[in-house]
Amino acid sequence: MEEMTDKSRIARFPRNDFRLAQQSSYDRDSVEFEEAKYEATGWFANFDRNSNKKNGNFERKEIINGREEYVVMEHTGPGAIVRTWMPWESYKKPGTNAIIRFYIDGKSEPALQGNMFDLLNGKGLIPYPLAHESLASAVSFFPIPYAKSMKVTVSEMPFFFQFTYRAYDADTHVKSFTMADYTRATELIEKTAQTLSNLNQPQQSYELAASTILRSGEQMSLALPAGNAAIEAIKVKLGNYDDAHITRHVIIKMSFDDKQTVWSPIGDFFGTGIGVNPFEDRYRAVLEDGTMLSSWVMPYQRNAMITLKNIGPDPVDVDLQANTGEWVWDDASMYFNAAWRGQYPVATRPYSDWNYVTLTGKGVYVGDSLTVMNPDKRWWGEGDEKIYVDGETFPSIFGTGTEDYYAYSWGGKSTDFYQHPFHAQPRANVYNKLNRKTTDERNTQGYSTETRVRALDTMPFSSSLKLDMEIWSWADAQMGYGVGLYWYADENTTSNRQPDEFEARNVPPLPN
């Protein structure tokens, strides 16, 4: 609970190192890479669920205490479940009779059980926002730790599912979850839920500020106080947003201790995508007037600089403000990094894995913001995330769909605004916070922006991390992709993402 609410915690490498892993209902035909031009087979197989038509995307069936149960997650060793995701089996029917049970440390009776959706949607035992209902899904970030082993079962054939967990070294001491401990921690749980619910709000004042008009190609910089410190808040506001492309044409750059670690269009850095799409999460906020806020903690030892550059054709009024706080640099401290990749056009055939980022070195991956331009009404987001850590040849995190990675479901119809402390959909089709969806229309054309930040489900890596997302649309089309990326790392860690002004100016046109 305390780790979830301490924003400075992720700026230090975990005291107890762990590997983030996931067990999901991904298609088990996805064994090794093979090209798929016109049919999604093999590596790009898309039966990411279970039904009577095809069984096997779960661990096994067991008879437990006279009941038939489906084992959907199993791990031996110390760990903690830190994220669960379950979709509705019908877009319009959120209910289920399935019972989910968590068996800890080999015991024959579950330590926690309940209705599969009621337990995980923030309306039951686990309070909002530690668990919640997103668009047609139940999502929980409530940690369930275990000392020796975890087995999760459901009473009915599972549909889609994801269980994300921390796998600790064998000698790590972990205290297993019990309902007695849950009861004793009620006050802390409620306090944590309240803290997470208080999303980013505008700072009343900032200690550092700079404003100017940037002509095409010009930039301005704001130097931070010298010495051991950390940026705690950044505020950016432009003069106007009449041209939605402006959020791609203004670039934010940052350097720490004389090394540039941040380069990104501001729309992707703050999670708004193309134009102003208001939302708030744990680390960022975009307000209706175009004010953009960041509260990532960014430590440094000697110096830091924030720079805004205009790569667009027209002058831009810019206002930049920042606050810093104290920081004691130690061996676990890491530098904040943010990068961007954009590409247009991106062909949907043959099927492919689109690399978000590949990192080499040591650090912790903490989030991303994806903006796509889809020229077709049909659903674009069937693609699974595939995440490889420390040289894995097969991903330890293999997902079930792009919308599932961003914690909602039924993406072809879930074209509406939503937000949560750890994920949001600021825009889909023509809808955002200022223009909510009121019909059952099924149209995913235009821009969609999905964003996810991490708390207990951060991804530490000791030598490398590679994150791919499948390009998997029902249409044979030319799409546009752009993704902002966030991670912490030591000074020697490198990435394959480099500044790319050409693609930042190459904003995909909206479909007619």
DSSP codes of every residue in 173-188: --PPP-HHHHHHTHHH
List pLDDT tens digits, range 342-378: 999 999 999 999 999 999 999 999 999 999 999 999 9
Q: Cβ neighbours of residue 159 under 8 Å, at least 6 residues apart?
A: 25, 49, 50, 51, 86, 87, 89
Residue 430 in tokens: 């023509």
Express each pLDDT in 140-168 by its tens digit: 999 999 999 999 999 999 999 999 999 99
Mean pLDDT (the chain, rounded):
95
For 200-226, give one letter per residue: b (16+ CB within 10 A) or e: beebeeeebeeeeebeeeeebebebee
Does the structure show a pLDDT above 70 at 201? no
Cα separation, 315 vs 52, in Å, equals 60
DSSP letter at 161 equals -
The 10 Å CB-count burial string (b at 16+, else e) for 327-343 is beeeeebbbbbbbbbbb
How sure is the predictor about 327, in pLDDT bands with cuts at 50, 70 and 90? very high
Question: Reading across the β-sheet that carries 397-398, which strands appear in turn?
Answer: 397-398, 385-389, 464-471, 352-360, 494-495
Q: How far is Cα 507 from Cα 512, in angstroms, rounded to an integer?
A: 15
Q: What is the DSSP secondary structure assignment for residue 403, as one 8-state letter?
A: H
Least confident of 29-38, 58-67, 458-467: 29-38
Classify 428 as helix, strand or coil. Answer: strand
Confidence of residue 511 (pLDDT cuts 50, 70, 90): confident
Q: Mind listing the domains of the chain with CATH numbers?
A: 58-197 (2.60.120), 208-505 (2.60.120.1390)
Residue with tokens 């975990």, as numbered in its chain: 14
User: What pLDDT sits at residue 56?
Assistant: 82
Query: Can you read off the two tokens belonging to residue 169?
Result: 């070294």
Q: CB of 279 within 8 A of CB of 285?
A: yes
